Amino acid sequence: MTDKKLRFAVCGTGDFGPQFAKYINEVAEVVAICEPNPQSQKDFSEQTGLELPAFENHQQLLAEIDVDAVAITSPNFTHKEIAVAAAQAGKHVYCEKAMANTVPECWEMVRACEQANVRLMVGHKRRLRPPWGRMIELQEELGQVLSITSCAYFDARHYDHQGWWTRREKCGGTLPVIGVHIVDWMRAMCGNVLTVRGLRAPQVDPRYDFPDTLHVSLQFDSGAIATLNVSLVYPVLKFRESGGPLVVCENGGMRFVPAMEHLDLAWQSRDDTEPHFERFDDLGFDHAFRQEAGDFVRWIKDGTKPCLTWEEGLRCVEVMEAALRSADENGTVLSLPLYPDLEKPS
């Protein structure tokens, strides 16, 4: 492995861009940013302490700055265009979730990176956070997962959901706003999804042009089943307090209870007389982001298998797109893959 630091451009300097730049700089070097909003460019510099060349257009950045990789932390609807342009310029691509708004867009990204022989990783940190990873590990003790229920009801009134976050064509709909992390974690627990069904409730918050409450049922190839119920209009809980899953396993079960400053896990096998309790005071964000950034850099440098690739990102988008389409069709059960013709190698 070469000791030379990889050079990164960060495209998108909103909420997540400055955060992720810190983790990139631990294993590589951020040398340029792309952001059309001048105030956001300024905020990035103030938050990170980095004074870097700044561009309003990713094509101009790719033409003028020598980089090895691009980290895409911009709005969802921009991911495909930036990823394809970066791949065509011979740059490796890290893309924050959601990978794109539709499965065909995801496949465009994949094919562009394959043709250019560059790496493509999609960030899905929740499965990598130790509290959530612990539930994945517990299958060794409790056996195969049979069923999961997660209720991610919370109050979104306190979030600045304006502009692209409220438009289906821009953000992808309900689950990219609330549920994307849990969908990916469910796949980490149970494997590939076989069928998807979605049902919507009557609308409450007029900001959104997609359902603000959505119930989703999943069936996996393994035979496991799962329900993911999400809502943006539940005043009792904050975001970090919602979504704790109940898990039924062949030889026991788990209950995960999130709170603002800690996470509690209870689990018990059928042979135990009492449940085991584990509290996580560290929510695990640093661990997950460092693993993503470190694995991506090692994957580029020496081909070491990473924690995530594009596959997790694409399959998560597939479930989310199917759930919303099913809800549009009054709960029609949809089989995956959604676009079988796109599965064929190019």
Q: Report how far residue 30's alpha carbon sits from residue 185's, in angstroms, rounded to the nearest whole number.
A: 29
Confidence band, pLDDT 50/70/90 cuts, at residue 1? very low
* pLDDT value at residue 346: 67
Facing residues of 195 across strands?
Answer: 219, 335
Report whether 269 contacts 251 (CB < 8 A).
Answer: yes
Per cent of the chain over pLDDT 90 is 95
Residue pLDDT, tens place only, 74-89: 999 999 999 999 999 9
Q: Report how far residue 132's alpha carbon sits from residue 101's, in angstroms, rounded to the nearest whole number.
A: 25
Nearest CA among 2, 123, 5, 4 for reference residue 71: 123
Residue 133 half-sphere exposure toward CB, CA atoms < 13 A: 14
Q: Reply yes or no on whether the pLDDT at 102 is more than 70.
A: yes
Cα dihedral 104, 181, 97, 320 in deg (nearest 10): 20
Nearest CA among 311, 308, 290 for reference residue 299: 308
Confidence band, pLDDT 50/70/90 cuts, at residue 2? low
Residue pLDDT, tens place only, 153-180: 999 998 877 789 999 999 999 999 999 9
Count the helix, strand and coil residues of the chain and give each as a percent rounded to the nearest 5. 40, 25, 35
Measured between alpha carbons, how far apart are the two ends of the chain, in Å?
Answer: 31
Amino acid sitting at position 274:
E
Residue spans in the chain of domains classed CATH 3.40.50.720: 7-124+287-309
Facing residues of 96 across strands?
Answer: 123
Q: Reply yes or no on whether the pLDDT at 251 is more than 60.
A: yes
Structure tokens at 242: 């919602």
CATH 3.40.50.720 fits 7-124+287-309, yes or no: yes
* pLDDT value at residue 81: 98
How many CB atoms lie under 10 A from the CB of residue 64?
10
The single residue listed with the structure tokens 């590990």 is: 137
302 or 158, which is more confident?
Answer: 302
Amino acid sitting at position 17:
G
* pLDDT value at residue 310: 98
Residue pLDDT, tens place only, 18-45: 999 999 999 999 999 999 999 999 999 9
The average confidence (pLDDT) of the chain is: 96
Q: Report how far residue 251's alpha carbon sits from residue 139's, in angstroms, rounded to the nearest whole number.
A: 9
CB-count exposure of residue 210 (10 Å: 0-12, 13-18, 19+) = buried
Confidence band, pLDDT 50/70/90 cuts, at residue 15? confident
Residue spans in the chain of domains classed CATH 3.30.360.10: 126-282+318-335
Residue pLDDT, tens place only, 197-250: 999 999 999 999 999 999 999 999 999 999 999 999 999 999 999 999 999 999
* pLDDT value at residue 160: 73
Confidence band, pLDDT 50/70/90 cuts, at residue 319? very high
DSSP 3-state of 33: strand
**126-282+318-335: CATH architecture:** 2-Layer Sandwich (3.30)
